[in-house]
Amino acid sequence: MDFAPHTHDDDRAMLDTVGLDALSDLFEAIDPSLQLTRPLDVPPALDEVELLDHMARLAGRSLGPAELVCFAGGGSYDHHLPPVVKALAGRAEFATSYTPYQPELSQGVLQAIYEFQTLVCELYGMEVANASLYDGANALVEAVTLSMRTTKRSRVLVGASVHPHYVQVLRTYTSGLDLDVDIVPFGSDGVVDWSKVDATDAAAVACAYPNFFGRLEDLGTASSVAHDAGALSIAVTDPSAMGVLASPGALGADVAVGEGQGLGNPKSYGGPYVGLFATHLDHVRQVPGRIVGETVDADDRRAYVLTLQAREQHIRRAKATSNVCTNQTLMAIFASVYLGWLGPQGLQRLGEVCIRRTAFAAERLSEIPGCEIAFKGPHFKEIVLRIPGDARELERSLAERGFLAGPSLGRWWPELGDCLLVAVTERRTEEAIVGLAQALEKELAG
């Protein structure tokens, strides 16, 4: 099945108009010796009935939510997905539209982005946000390159408690640039002691708040240390925490970035997600990607347009603030509808439930003989559980018992090979937490 509507008669009439005999004549510019003389060796076409069956079989070969209770976190979270979010953000008028280059035909997406920008600013305590980036890692990269352009410096201090994948992506992205990525280690409590950090010559200091281990790290001190050295303070912040935790802006951050998946987007094996990026207005001309601004139309009606486009690749080319073009607008609209559904009180409730259930889980899991919470202190929705033995093995065997708990941390920090990162969202009930604890007890008892 293909989706071209051409009948045989259409083909004939159109070829006649063009003045060609056959469809193959359309490719006369391509040297015949280069052209394929065989069909592509790809799987054969399926009809719609076969395709649905095939996809259902493939989907069934993974362990879905019916088989595994999700306590996995590490940058992708099993938050509640209100049905209204997909019903609205998934509307084809949004989903099947292009980048809003023609504002008269794009007020829907443009206004939705403008609202998204406002929502992200509200969450993070900032003045300007963009129309989204690819994911949390990409947003951190863009914050760092912004700080390099702004300060004309080529060193960045990144807390070791930032998501390890984000740090890897930062290194990859900037490997062709003159940038030193210096990792600041965390202490035995799982947070960086920023008061002991010297940020001299740094373009930026990047602090995760809450950090990869769910710990509330001292962003305020990180910001002070950065500012004392003339560097920018970058916060990597989970937006779901913003109902109860002070905003990055209030704690002195100059740029706040984060992963917006938890705001109404499915986990979808890692994407499509949405990178959040917000800063203060004095940096607006260095912001990457698309920004929507308010204006008026020819009849003095309020209207929205893409603005400050001279920053962007299609105008500035080699000197653009970023190479980003296609972004994650649809996921941004998902986030906007979700935040509209939550409202301020819903966001507070979400934060409170996450924090209190996580505290309960910490208490219950550390009662298991041999187990302890590795990093003590205030947490948001994740904890690091130290277990006797190899956490990677345990991660697998817990999956067999119906629980997705992890990731195990040895893959990034060999010294934490006996540690599991456990996430507790508002979807995990007391019963589920107790169930995980009992499965763990059984597993450890052998």
Partner 1 sequence: MTKTQGSLERSAGTRNDGAGFPLVFELSRKGRRAWSLPEAKVDAPGLDELVPERFRRSEPPALPEISERDLVRHYTRLSQRNWAIDVGAYPLGSCSMKYNPKIAEEVAAMPGFAALHPLAPDDAVQGALELLGTLQEALCEATGMDAITMQPAAGAQGELTGLLIMRAFHEAKGDARRRVIIPDSAHGTNPASVSLAGYEAVEVRSDERGLVDVEALLDVLDENVAGLMLTNPNTLGLFERDIVRIATAVHEVGGLLYYDGANFNSIVGVVRPGDMGFDIVHLNLHKTFATPHGGGGPGSGPLAVSERLARFLPAPVLVYDKGAERWGWDHDRPDSIGRIHSFHGNFGINVRAYAYLRSLGPEGLRRVAERAVLNANYLRALIADAWPTKYPGICMHEFVASAKPLKQHGVRAMDVAKRLIDFGYHPPTVYFPLVVEEALMVEPTETESKETIDGLADALNQIAREAKEHPELLHDAPVTTPVRRPDEARAARRLTVRWTPD
Q: Which of 107, 154, 366, 438 binds partner 1 (CB under 8 A)?
A: 107
Residue nearer to partner 1 on the CB measure, 112 or 231: 112
**416 counts as binding partner 1 under rule CB under 8 A:** no
Report how far residue 164's alpha carbon sits from residue 156's, in angstroms, rounded to the nearest whole number.
15
Report how far residue 70's alpha carbon sits from residue 73's, in angstroms, rounded to the nearest whole number.
8
Residue 307: strand pairing partners: none
**299 counts as binding partner 1 under rule CB under 8 A:** yes
- Where in 47-76 is the site for partner 1 (CB under 8 A)? 48, 51-52, 54-66, 68, 70, 72, 74-76
**21 counts as binding partner 1 under rule CB under 8 A:** no
Residue nearer to partner 1 on the CB measure, 95 or 370: 95
Residue nearer to partner 1 on the CB measure, 415 or 431: 431
Report how far residue 43's alpha carbon sits from residue 434's, in angstroms, rounded to the nearest whole number.
46
CB 23 within 8 A of CB 11: yes
**18 counts as binding partner 1 under rule CB under 8 A:** yes
- Nearest C-alpha neighbor of 287 from the set 104, 109, 131, 84: 131
Q: Residue 368 CB, nearest distance to partner 1 (Å)?
A: 17
**401 counts as binding partner 1 under rule CB under 8 A:** no
**111 counts as binding partner 1 under rule CB under 8 A:** yes
Report how far residue 379's alpha carbon sits from residue 215's, in angstroms, rounded to the nearest whole number.
4
**182 counts as binding partner 1 under rule CB under 8 A:** no
Residue nearer to partner 1 on the CB measure, 161 or 230: 161
Q: Which of 180, 198, 282, 363 binds partner 1 (CB under 8 A)?
A: 363
Token couple for 260: 């917006």
Token couple for 231: 């560097």
- Where in 254-283 is the site for partner 1 (CB under 8 A)? 259, 266-273, 281
Report how far residue 68's alpha carbon sits from residue 248's, in angstroms, rounded to the nearest whole number.
34
Single-letter residue type at 304 = Y
Report the b/e string of 296-324 with b at 16+ CB within 10 A. Answer: eeeeeeebbbbeeeebbbeeeeeebbbeb
User: 208: burial class by Cβ within 10 Å (0-12, 13-18, 19+)?
Assistant: buried
Residue nearer to partner 1 on the CB measure, 200 or 390: 390
Number of residues near partner 1 (by CB under 8 A): 211
**2 counts as binding partner 1 under rule CB under 8 A:** yes
Q: Which of 230, 378, 388, 389 binds partner 1 (CB under 8 A)?
A: 378
- Where in 310-339 is the site for partner 1 (CB under 8 A)? 312-320, 322-331, 333, 336-337, 339
- Where in 147-166 is the site for partner 1 (CB under 8 A)? 163, 165-166
